[in-house]
Structure formats: C-alpha cells, structure tokens
Amino acid sequence: MIKRTSLLLILILTAVAANAESPWEIRLPGEPLLPLDAHSLALGGATEARWDIKGGLPANSAQIANLDGFTFATVLQWRQASRTLAAGESWSETRQDFPAFQISANLPKGIRLGIGFRADMRARGSFTLPMIQIEGQDCEQSYTQKGGYHRFPLSIAMPIGDKVRLGLGVSLVRGHLNQEWYFRFPDALVYENPELGFVNRSARRLASWHGTSFNAGLLVRPLKWLSVSGRLESACDVNGDNTIQTAGIESEEVDPISGRMPARWGLGLAGNLGDSGILSVQWDHEEWADCEMPVGDIDLLNVDRIAAGFEWIFRYGYRNKKETPLRIGFRSSNHPGPDPFTRAEINEKFYSIGTGINLRDGRGSVDLTLFLQNLTVAGGETEKRIGVALSVRTSEIWTKRTTPF
C-alpha cells in the first residue's frame, strides 16, 4: 500500500508536469474564485461601503437591507487564460464558472433574510508525468484531482435608524477533495516489492470536511455623501474524514480530518462625487498563515486585497429620462497558496469595466463586466486572463401584473 507520505510526494511531483489545468489550482487551498456579481466585479469588488448598491451577492451582509422585495441574484463567468512557461512552452485554458447565487426576502420591520452559495476556492487538475523509476522499474503516472471548498451563508440584516445597517450571519463551510493516481509499469511482469505486487495499479484519496463560521457586517452613513463599512468573519474549525483506497489489493484506510479555516475582515469607504459619480475603496484581509489545512501540509500566506471602484451615471433623454452607468475597477492582491514550482508568492492585478441596466418597473437588473487578470510569480512566470461576467437580479415584481387586461 502507498503510504501517506508517498502520496504527498507524488502530488508534488505531478504538479511539476502540468499540461492540462493551471498548476496554481492543484494544491489546496487552490485558486480563489471571483464570487461577486458583475456589478461588484466591475468595481474591483470595492462595494461593501456603497449605501445605494442594488446588485446581488454583497460580501457585507449589512447591504441586504437595501435589496427590494424577494430577490434572486446570480453570476456567470467565462474566462480565457494563456501563459508562456519558463521552458518556453505555451499553455492556455477556457473556463466557465457559476460561483455564487443569493436569495433574499423581506421580513417585518425592515428586516431581511438572505441565503446563498459561494464557491471560495477550487483545487483541480489533470496531469501526466514522463516515465520515471519506482523501485527500479519504469513507470508511467497520471493524476487527476477535483475539489475545493465553498460556503452556504445564512444572514439577517436590519436598519437601525436612517444611518446604520447591521447584518449578522452564519456560514456553513463544506470542502471536498478527490485525488486519483494511476501507475502503469509497461515492462514489469512480476514485481519484487510485495507492497506493490502487480503491474498496473491506482490509488485514490477521498476527503471531505465541514464547519461553521460566524460573521457580522456594519454599514454607516455619517454624512449624506459618505458611507463606511466593516465586516468580520470568524475562523472556522472543521472536521471530516480522509479515505485512501488502493486498487489491486484489498486495502482502505480512513482517518479523521481536523483543521482550521481562516478568519476574514474587511473595511470600506465610499463617497458621492456630485449627483452622478461614486468612488469607493476597500481593504480585505484573510488570515491564511494561521490556518491549518484539513488535507496536505502547505505553507500559506495571509491575503490582503486593496480595491478601488468608480461609477459614473450618464443621464439622457428629453421626456423619458434614462440612466446608463459606466463602472471601472482595480484590485491588487496575493494568493494564499505559493507557486508549486518555486514556492514563490503569487500576485494578482485585476482590471475591470462594466455597465448595467435596471429593468422596467423595478423588475430587477442585468449587469455585464469585462475583466483582465494578470497573475505573476515573484521573479517568474506571468499568466494573463480575460473574462466576461454576467449577472441577473430578479424581484418579486416579476410575478405581478404590470398591464391590465
């Protein structure tokens, strides 16, 4: 049977020969997804302090108080990425994501209830190694992995007077990992090592874990043109099971998983520029360095994200005034996981531009964003990504008649 240390060693080796997916996703915590609606994404994610925002999926639960009626919001993303590797090879991928949705509803006295889904991280890949030697025998190896972790946030938000909004919530954290190795010995007929004992074999690790975190958000408008936000999400203890299955011999090992997911907090500031412009800035922090990953042993880094967004409303039309927003955003951050090749830090620069329309009679909104991600390894490779995000927000008014028969 393959021991756990051997599994980790093979995982590290396979990451060196990536030829199908981004190697930055292959080890948990994987790659951070963009679980923001297209409205927020167009502003670089700097939306928590926006008092008037009506897009779905706010990170700050205090903003739920500003959504009207029963609301459903989601986001779809498409992305094309390309990279030139250090050895001169080129690498590319195309991806579609459905990373988040949210449903919120009115309760008495201005209280709002929200429930949703957020895909926070993904760790996946499909790799093949060139022929290597194992116990003196030539061996071909292939490796696949699917996994990551996500959250199901439940939140309640309420206004406190005209200038304060408070949000409280709980997030159910769920993670999973499915890793599979396949070993083929083309020249071996009888193997001398009794632990291997056969020509071709496979090994699989199935892991899952779960936990609960608590969060709070506060949105304050001290001046008519200025608003401030704060958000705190507690660290989360997680537990689960780790199962290793080996084909070719009857063997299965099940071990408990225990770990700790990171605490998070954010601060935001937004101000009106006249009656048409809004400028917002935001700082997010995640305590990955103090995190104990449920699977694997990886040195992680704290994550800091600095974001800025600007929105300008164009008004036109002689009799029926119409409004069209132009949104631009920027974000700078690092990834929690290091580059698997060099263990160097991965940094991100994110640029976005977008617009949107409000549907007639308050039925919802449709937002569209184009974005560019530039990911770099310190002193190493660069990966460029272009993408499109589309969000749709609908309200209970869809179910009401708007014209008489």
In tens digits, the chain (405 residues) has pLDDT values of: 334 444 444 444 444 434 435 666 777 788 888 878 888 899 999 999 998 876 556 667 787 766 555 567 777 888 887 776 666 666 677 777 888 888 888 788 878 888 888 888 888 877 777 677 766 677 778 888 888 989 998 889 889 999 999 999 999 999 999 988 887 777 665 545 555 554 567 788 899 999 999 999 999 999 999 999 999 999 999 999 998 887 655 567 888 999 999 999 999 999 999 989 999 999 999 999 988 888 877 888 999 999 999 999 998 887 777 889 999 999 999 999 887 777 888 899 999 999 998 877 667 788 999 999 998 887 777 888 899 998 887 765 444 433 332
- SS3 of 53-77: the string is CCCCCCCCHHHHHHCCCCEEEEEEE
Instruction: Tell me, yes or no, whether 265 lies in a domain.
Output: yes
- CA 14, 15, 20, 26 torsion-angle sign: positive
If one counts the domains in the chain, the total is: 1
* pLDDT tens track for 169-199: 999 999 999 988 887 777 665 545 555 554 5
Instruction: Tell me, yes or no, whether 152 lies in a domain.
Output: yes
Which two three-digit tokens encode residue 252? 């299965």
**404 Cβ partners below 8 Å, 6+ apart?**
none
Instruction: Tell me, yes or no, whether 404 lies in a domain.
Output: no
CATH number at residue 83: 2.40.160.60
| Model pTM score | 0.83
| Beta-strand runs (E) in 274-318 | 277-286, 303-316
Which two three-digit tokens encode residue 187? 């020249």
Instruction: Tell me, yes or no, whether 72 lies in a domain.
Output: yes
Instruction: Tell me, yes or no, whether 392 lies in a domain.
Output: yes
Q: Which amino acid is at 18?
A: A
Instruction: Tell me, yes or no, whether 405 lies in a domain.
Output: no
Instruction: Tell me, yes or no, whether 326 lies in a domain.
Output: yes
DSSP H helical segments within 187-234, as ranges?
none
Instruction: Tell me, yes or no, whether 81 lies in a domain.
Output: yes
Which domain, by its residues, includes 106?
4-399
